[in-house]
Amino acid sequence: MIDGLLRRIADFHRSRPVVPEFPMLAPVLDALDHARGPAGIKARILPVVRHLDAVEPSGDAYIDAVLEEFLRLAPVLPWRQTVGYLDVLSQDYLDNYGYVQLLGPNAVVEHPAVRVGIGLWGPHLHYPAHKHEAEELYHVLAGEPSFGSIDGIRRATRPGDAVHHTPWQVHSQDFGATPTVLLYCWTGAVEADAVLVDAP
Ligand SMILES: [Fe+2]
């Protein structure tokens, strides 16, 4: 059921220019190529999915192929939130955020060493500074999020842009006026979730 989505994600990554700084994509592509989704998936819907109606195509064929399949499958996917955030982030944040872990530990397709998923955030949310041991590569599929680092530098992004975080690199996000869809990959220490740097 999700094999088509995994294939489109692999095609998307292969459509990007090769970036020597991102060798982590090799194990990610290997995992995507070999993943086989289960026949049935237990859906779990979160309030954030209401924003999917306002997700706009980007005009990039590879991005839009992923978005189209993700939007089609969204109602039957297991949406989730980072467990450690549930007691600390505001109800407004929790009502406007969620992700689907397609590949990884306890994901739709089990994988011990790679995480691949897609997250959705509603307009104007602030994702406070957080960190994780895994190396991370985000690609913006929709929206105009701005990424912050601990030195105060902010980087505005748009669909197609890649944002890379080294292990334990502190980062934050501010989401724009339209819903943000981010494709993420993790490699390395993928077992542990992200943790907030300070309680908001
Ligand atoms: Fe991250």
Classify domain 3-196 by CATH architecture: Sandwich (2.60)
Quote the ligand 1 centre to 32 CA distance (angstroms). Answer: 20
Quote the ligand 1 centre to 130 CA distance (angstroms). Answer: 7
Q: What is the pLDDT of residue 115?
A: 98
Report the distance separating Cα 189 and Cα 185, nearest Å: 12
Quote the ligand 1 centre to 132 CA distance (angstroms). Answer: 7
Quote the ligand 1 centre to 137 CA distance (angstroms). Answer: 8
Q: What is the pLDDT of residue 58?
A: 97
Rounded to two decimals, what is the model's pTM?
Answer: 0.96
Quote the ligand 1 centre to 155 CA distance (angstroms). Answer: 15
Q: What is the pLDDT along the chain (200 residues), one digit of tens a residue?
A: 999 999 999 999 999 998 888 999 999 999 999 999 998 999 999 999 999 999 999 999 999 999 999 999 999 999 999 999 999 999 999 999 999 999 999 999 999 999 999 999 999 999 999 999 999 999 999 999 999 987 888 999 999 999 999 999 999 999 999 999 999 999 999 999 999 997 44
Q: What is the pLDDT of residue 200?
A: 43
